[in-house]
Amino acid sequence: MIEFYGRGLLLDIEGTTASVAFVYDVMFPFVRRELDSYLKSAWGTPTLDPVLRYIAQDAGADSFEQWTREDAGEEAKLERVSAEMTRLMDNDVKATGLKQLQGLIWKSGFDSGELVAAVFDDVPAALTRWNAGGKDVRIYSSGSVAAQKMFFGHTNHGDLLSSFKGHYDTTTGPKKVAESYRAIAADYGCDASEILFLSDIVGELDAAREAGMRTGLCYRPGNAPVENANGHTGIESFDQISIG
Ligand SMILES: CSCCC(=O)C(=O)COP(=O)(O)O
Ligand SMILES: [Mg+2]
């Protein structure tokens, strides 16, 4: 049980509000299936420009042109991007460029109804309870802000997007780095100690605690086993959080 009297709750997605299985077995395969056809259709359009910059930056290059300078022609560049995205997905690297691109690719799936985000059954009522109690609820996920908005706008419990006052992704900073949580607290406009961060990953919770946030470790069905909770209070459901 966690008793929380502070200002806001900051929620992770995978393993916290939604199952790891939905992300890995439904969302990621959708990207693999659509990757090449999406790249072909969007290639050369301004939509891809920031994504390609992030992909190059993640690979340690100064620019997309520098990263692809050995690839002759647009087709070779596209293939390089496709191969790099596949390599990152194979290794489950939560790189900003990949996450931004995944967000663009998921759009057609959420728009068509093929993708419906499976959030845990206790989540909608908890969001209602916390909002009614005056809490400022926001999301911090590796998934891009655009993807987060589509995700919560199309769930198995309907449109939950209006439950959130803010969204953060890895463009704010990596999730295992304390500075990212300091930046988020500054954006909330309150002391970090006024925010409760919920996640399934101990390294993320360690970083949030280092920044001064309160933390809760989510044990959801299908999550990877936790070897050492490192002092973070565990919960199995958002029903185990009482607010005041
Ligand atoms: C917007 S849902 C997609 C989630 C995703 O891509 C991901 O990597 C989940 O990471 P999280 O930080 O939410 O555990
Ligand atoms: Mg997670």
pLDDT at 233 over 90: yes
CA distance 125 to 233: 21
Give kind and range of the element (H or E) at residue 139: strand 136-140
Q: Is 148 in the pocket of ligand 1 (CB under 6 A)?
A: yes
pLDDT at 14 over 90: yes
Looking at this predicted complex, what is its ipTM?
0.97
CA distances from 234 to 21, 101, 123, 204, 209 (A): 20, 33, 16, 14, 14
Q: Is 14 in the pocket of ligand 1 (CB under 6 A)?
A: yes
- What pLDDT, on a 0 to 100 scale, did the predictor assign at position 69? 85
Instruction: Examine the fold and report which residue of 94, 112, 130 is the final residue of a domain before the chain moves on.
Output: 112
* CA of residue 24 to ligand 1 center, whole Å: 10
* CA of residue 14 to ligand 1 center, whole Å: 5
- What pLDDT, on a 0 to 100 scale, did the predictor assign at position 38? 97
Which residues, 6 or more positions from 89, have their beta carbon under 8 angstroms from its beta carbon? 28, 31, 32, 98
- What pLDDT, on a 0 to 100 scale, did the predictor assign at position 7? 97
Residues 218, 129 share a domain: yes
* CA of residue 201 to ligand 2 center, whole Å: 6
Residues 80, 35 share a domain: yes
Atom of ligand 1 nearest to the CA of 102: 6
Residues 135, 80 share a domain: no
- Indicate which ligand has the atom closest to the C-alpha of 146: 1
Q: What is the pLDDT averaged over residues 163-191?
A: 97
Query: What's the total number of domains in the chain?
Result: 2
- What pLDDT, on a 0 to 100 scale, did the predictor assign at position 70? 83
Residues 211, 162 share a domain: yes
CA distance 53 to 167: 21
The pTM assigned to this predicted structure is 0.94
Q: In the predicted model, what is the mean pLDDT of the chain?
A: 96
pLDDT at 4 over 90: yes
pLDDT in tens, 29-42: 999 999 999 999 99
At 77, which CATH number? 1.10.720
Give the residue among 94, 85, 91, 90 at the shortest CA–CA distance from 13. 94
Mutation choice for ligand 1 from 11, 14, 152, 169, CB with most ligand atoms inside 8 A: 14
Q: Is 151 in the pocket of ligand 1 (CB under 6 A)?
A: yes
Range of the domain at 68: 24-112
pLDDT at 72 over 90: no
pLDDT in tens, 205-217: 999 999 999 999 9
The number of residues in the chain equals 244
At 187, which CATH number? 3.40.50.1000
Residues 227, 132 share a domain: yes
Residues 209, 147 share a domain: yes
Give the residue among 151, 44, 156 at the shortest CA–CA distance from 99. 151
Atom 4, ligand 1: residue with shortest CA distance:
143
- What pLDDT, on a 0 to 100 scale, did the predictor assign at position 122? 98
Which residues, 6 or more positions from 172, have their beta carbon under 8 angstroms from its beta carbon? 140, 180, 183, 184
* CA of residue 142 to ligand 2 center, whole Å: 8
pLDDT at 173 over 80: yes
